[in-house]
Amino acid sequence: MLDVLANRTYRHLFLAQVIALIGTGLATVALGLLAYNLAGAQAGSVLGTALAIKMVAYVGVAPIVGAFADRLPRRAFLVTMDLVRAAVALSLPFVNQIWQIYILIFLLQSASAAFTPTFQATIPDVLPEEKDYTRALSLSRLAYDMENLISPILAAALLTVISFHWLFGGTVIGFLASAALVVSVRLPQVRTVAKRTGSIYAKTFRGMSIYLRTPRLKGLLALNLAAAAASAMVIVNTVVYIQSKLGRPSTDVPLGLAAFGAGSMVMALLLPKLLETRADRPAMMTGAAIMAVSLAAGVGVTQLGSPYEWPALLALWFAMGLGYSMTLTPSGRLLKRSANPQDRPAVFAAQFSLSHCCWLITYPLAGQLGARFGMTAAFAALATITAAGLAIAWKVWPANDPDVIVHTHADAEDLGAHLAQGELTAATTHSHPYMIDDHHPRWPGERS
């Protein structure tokens, strides 16, 4: 897997991602302490509002940026977003009012919503070979999982010698280092083949339109919902389950989260080899099925009682981590297959926005179910949502999903150059890798 790091451009981008993620993790810890410093017992409410603002920024900003990202110099744009994030992080230690936190969080997360999809859409152009790109996706998944393990440990170590305000300094350094690494390489800039016309609204939702007209991506959206339901159970209810239901110390909470992260990391290491022999669809469906079965098994785990419930929960979280990584890690391959290079930023932005819509639904749902009806009900309800997502994906994403499709253009006027692409089998019929674009407004066989 590490062979892909021999590519200098990708190596620098990967290091930029890792360093920025660690900086963001430090900011997460520092933000919680800052909220407690300002709001005391109401800190949970402040952080809940901040999380909602983060999701609103992710859902609302990403499609707008994705509409125009292909028109902007990639390197300059990514560096600018890193500098914006560094400037916001530098301002956070000086906050003395709660409303200031909300404004700065919106600016910070808006910059992240602009940076992340553009960054993700750049990697397929840096690593055009699918084998290399698959390895890069697994490394990216590992980076996220490692950040979840390393950042809290690093923050705890730093807090023994510095105040929490200085943790924001680590965030600033992370974003500046990320910007420096991006500056150090030359990024491929996709040339737009033709100037697009249409309203700002149409350009903004172009990525969404492509996404929602592509069967495999509609399946991906359903799988996003399945993964969001499973991960919400872990992220929202782990601390409540361990401390309130099991009565275990707070030091066991990181162990529970680490079990989920360990499962995700193990699968990320196995996937590149697995995807050499298995198609994306069966692999991702299997991952969703693992999550659904694990959540359903959670109903039984809640009835075990001591001393078996704690190790059973760890095993359950590990299994869900396996399924989560198996479901979502290959998603970049689907996005790459489903969009022309000039449309990739918009389609990656659509994935970023729509996937966070799923979490915006499942995070509060998991919390409310656990608080009002208990862990057994939360497991059962979220298992049902995960299974429903899997069933929808199975239905809308055909098992026969070739890249190259023979299709006919009803109106061949001004399509001479396009019809010359691929293999021409008749006057207006040809075959090539099919993607929704100006020449192909809908998927073959589907109604407009």
Is 194 within a domain?
A: no
On whether both 392 and 427 belong to a single domain, the answer is: no
Strand-strand pairing, 429-433 and 423-424: antiparallel
Q: Which of 189, 215, 232 is the last residue of a domain?
A: 189
The residue range of the domain holding 409 is 402-448
Burial class (CB in 10 A: 0-12, 13-18, 19+), 357: middle
Tokens matching residue 16: 């930029």
Q: Is the dihedral of CA 238, 241, 246, 248 positive or negative?
A: positive
Tokens matching residue 127: 């690593």
On whether both 70 and 27 belong to a single domain, the answer is: yes
On whether both 252 and 171 belong to a single domain, the answer is: no
Task: Give, as one character, the DSSP assignment of residue 190.
Answer: P
Domain count for the chain: 3
Cα 217 off chain centre by:
14
Q: What is the dihedral of CA 205, 207, 209, 212, to 10 degrees?
A: -130
Task: Give, as one character, the DSSP assignment of residue 272.
Answer: H
Is the entire prediction scored with pTM above 0.95? no
Per-residue model confidence as pLDDT tens for the chain (448 residues): 577 889 999 999 989 988 988 888 788 778 777 877 887 766 656 766 777 788 888 888 777 776 666 677 888 989 999 999 999 999 988 988 888 888 988 998 888 888 888 888 888 889 888 888 888 888 887 887 777 667 767 776 777 788 878 888 988 999 999 999 999 998 886 655 444 555 555 656 788 889 999 999 999 999 999 999 999 898 888 888 888 888 888 778 778 888 888 899 899 889 988 998 889 999 999 999 999 999 999 999 999 877 889 999 999 999 999 999 999 999 999 998 998 888 888 888 889 889 989 988 888 888 888 888 989 999 999 999 999 999 999 999 999 988 888 888 776 666 667 777 777 777 678 888 888 888 888 888 776 5
Q: Which residues pair with 238 in a beta bridge?
A: none
Is 39 within a domain?
A: yes
On whether both 133 and 185 belong to a single domain, the answer is: yes
Is 196 within a domain?
A: no
On whether both 44 and 137 belong to a single domain, the answer is: yes
On whether both 423 and 340 belong to a single domain, the answer is: no
On whether both 385 and 360 belong to a single domain, the answer is: yes
Is there a contact between 121 and 19 (Cβ–Cβ < 8 Å)? no
Is 367 within a domain?
A: yes
